[in-house]
Amino acid sequence: MRVEDIDTPALLVDLDAMESNLKRMAGFFADRTCKLRPHFKNHKSPALAQKQLDFGAIGITCATLREAEILVHHGIKNVLLANEIVSDTKFEILADLSRIASVVVAVDNEKILADMARVQRNRNVHIEVVVDIDIGLNRCGVRPGEPALALAKSAANEGLNVRGIMGYDGQHQSEPPSPERDEQVRKGSKALIDSAALIRAAGLPCSIVSTGGTGTSSLSGIIPGITDIQAGSYLLMDTRYLGLGAPFLRSLTVLATVISTRGAEHAVLDCGVKALSGERGLSALKDVPGAKLAAVHAEHALVEIDPLICQKIEVGRKLEVWVKYSDATVNLHSRMYGVRNGQVEEVFKIEH
Ligand SMILES: Cc1ncc(COP(=O)(O)O)c(C=O)c1O
């Protein structure tokens, strides 16, 4: 199938760019002690997760229990659910998954440990946990040091299988590198490493010390004591990440059809926010100099054209729009067309 024959709106991934990202990140971690545990939410495609594992990732990180279910049901044996879950219903699903795969879940609250342990006993399985530590994002997580140790002890006392700790420094992912930012990233990693040392000194296991994302992978990934990096965006890359110094290529576009024009200065595409997230700002058109998105409605994108630079855009023409925020855009689609040299080579199913 040629790209022009794909019905629109459709999500496309440039295979050359994506494979270059896959190999570049894998190459960075190949000879290091620290490994990659890529985040699933970026692409939600089990086939791409498998490619990441084939290229050396030690497991897959995810954000929801549903994502963990998808991964396990696609045969992935090492999953880190880097987020808190609360409720017996969820603990029961987790317990059932733990029968078939290692699914390590983040915890940050004493209150849920007893419930989790009860479900574990009732289902006769071992639930694996990491203590989630807040290293400055101010989202989930306990404070580093003694509070982290206290929670690890409580989890172990309840009979849960304590695997280690994690802390996501999301506040630094979209900051361009600078001596100040790098210092803060190192500080966050040190807080994790010191917490891990405390936990081990108390006689508890702590083999996982997980952190980082695409923007900090090359920095946290070389700090001794950090075991793995949860980078997600590097694989598909979105234009939000460009210019922040991450050496990856953007690969993700939405293919859209021009459904209406007025004069030489106005065109309308059939991709609104139901196909292209507008959450982090308006996207740019690929390879159409002189034309830009002016607004995105539910099912329409309005294009403003400078007729001095850009020839008239005719109804029926198909255009590609760069994806600004990959996580939120991928989530709107059920498949992603892998494209090379204008041909569809592979279709990746996006699981929900
Ligand atoms: C807990 C956690 N880890 C890792 C990541 C991956 O970050 P990135 O997409 O910047 O690589 C995210 C992204 O939001 C996250 O929430």
From ligand 1's centre to the CA of 185, what distance in Å?
14
Q: Is 134 helix (H, G, I), strand (E, B) or coil?
A: coil
- The more confidently predicted of residues 177 and 266 is 266
Q: What is the pLDDT of residue 272?
A: 96
The answer to whether the bond into 9 is cis (omega within 30° of 0) is yes
Torsion sign, CA atoms 17, 328, 133, 244: positive
What pLDDT digit, counting tens, does each position of 34-70 carry? 999 999 999 999 999 999 999 999 999 999 999 999 9
Answer for the pair 292, 304: CB distance below 8 angstroms, yes or no.
yes
First to last CA, the chain: 25
Q: Is 20 helix (H, G, I), strand (E, B) or coil?
A: helix
Q: What is the pLDDT of residue 21?
A: 98
| Phi, then psi, of 180 in degrees rounded to 5 | -70, -45
What pLDDT digit, counting tens, does each position of 158-207 carry? 999 999 999 999 999 989 889 999 999 999 999 999 999 999 999 999 99
Residue nearest to atom 2 of ligand 1 (CA): 168
Q: Is the pLDDT of residue 245 over 80?
A: no
- The more confidently predicted of residues 311 and 190 is 190
Burial classification of residue 269, based on how many CB atoms lie within 10 Å of its CB (0-12 exposed, 13-18 middle, 19 or more buried): buried
Q: Is the pLDDT of residue 315 over 80?
A: yes
Of the candidates 71, 69, 70, 73, which has an alpha carbon nearest to the alpha carbon of residue 60?
A: 71
Q: What is the pLDDT of residue 113?
A: 98
Residues with CB under 6 A from ligand 1: 39, 42, 61, 82, 168, 170, 173, 213-215, 230-233
Strand partners, 108: none
Entry pTM: 0.97
Q: What is the pLDDT of residue 287?
A: 95
Q: What is the pLDDT of residue 2?
A: 98
Q: What is the pLDDT of residue 46?
A: 98
From ligand 1's centre to the CA of 295, what distance in Å?
28
- For residue 242, what pLDDT band results from cuts at 50, 70 and 90? confident
From ligand 1's centre to the CA of 174, what distance in Å?
11
Q: What is the pLDDT of residue 284?
A: 95
Q: How many residues comprise the chain?
A: 352
Ligand 1 atom closest to the CA of 212, numbered from 1? 4
From ligand 1's centre to the CA of 45, what distance in Å?
16
